[in-house]
Chains A and B, each alone.
Chain A
Amino acid sequence: MKKVLIFDDNEELLELCTIILEEAGCKIKTSSNSDNADQQVIDYMPDIIFMDNWIPNISGIEATRIIKGNEATKHIPVIYFSANSHIKTLAKEAGADDFLAKPFDITDLENMVKKYT
Chain B
Amino acid sequence: MKNCDAIIIGGSAGSLDVLLEVLPLIDNGIRFPIIIILHRMPGSDHLLSDLFASKARLTVKEIEEKEIIRNNIIYLAPSDYHLLIEKNHTFSLDHFEKVNYSRPSIDVAFQSAAEVYKNKLAGLLLSGANADGVAGLQFIKKMGGYVMIQDPKSATVSYMPAKAQMEVEVDMVLEPANIAAFINQLSKNKPS
Contacts and interface: CB of A to CB of B under 8 A. Distances in A.
A103 B41 CA distance: 13
Interface in A50-106: 83, 102-106
Residue with the highest number of chain B CB atoms closer than 10 Å, among A10, A12, A17, A20? A12
Contacts of A20: 47, 51
Nearest to A11: B41
A102 B48 CA distance: 13
B16 A15 contact: yes
Contacts of A109: 47
Nearest to A105: B50
Contacts of B100: none
Contact of B46 (A11, A15, A17, A103): A103
A16 interface: yes
Contacts of B40: 12
B44 interface: yes
Residue with the highest number of chain A CB atoms closer than 10 Å, among B20, B40, B44? B44
Interface residues of B, number: 13
B51 A102 contact: no
A106 B48 contact: no
B45 A16 contact: no
User: Mostly helix, strand, loop or mixed at chain A's interface?
Assistant: helix
Contacts of A19: 20, 51
Contacts of A10: 41, 43-44
B183 to A, nearest CB: 22
B47 A16 contact: yes
A19 B47 CA distance: 11
Given A15-B16, A16-B48, A19-B51, A102 B43 contact: yes
A13 B46 CA distance: 10
B47 A105 contact: yes
A70 B66 CA distance: 52
Interface string B35-64: 000001101111110110010000000000
A15 B20 CA distance: 13
Interface of B: 16, 20, 40-41, 43-48, 50-51, 54
The 4 lowest CB-CB distance pairs between A and B, nearest first, are A103-B46, A13-B44, A105-B50, A12-B44
Given A16-B48, A17-B47, A105-B50, 13 more contacts: A10-B41, A13-B43, A15-B16, A16-B44, A19-B20, A20-B47, A20-B51, A102-B43, A103-B45, A103-B46, A104-B47, A105-B46, A109-B47
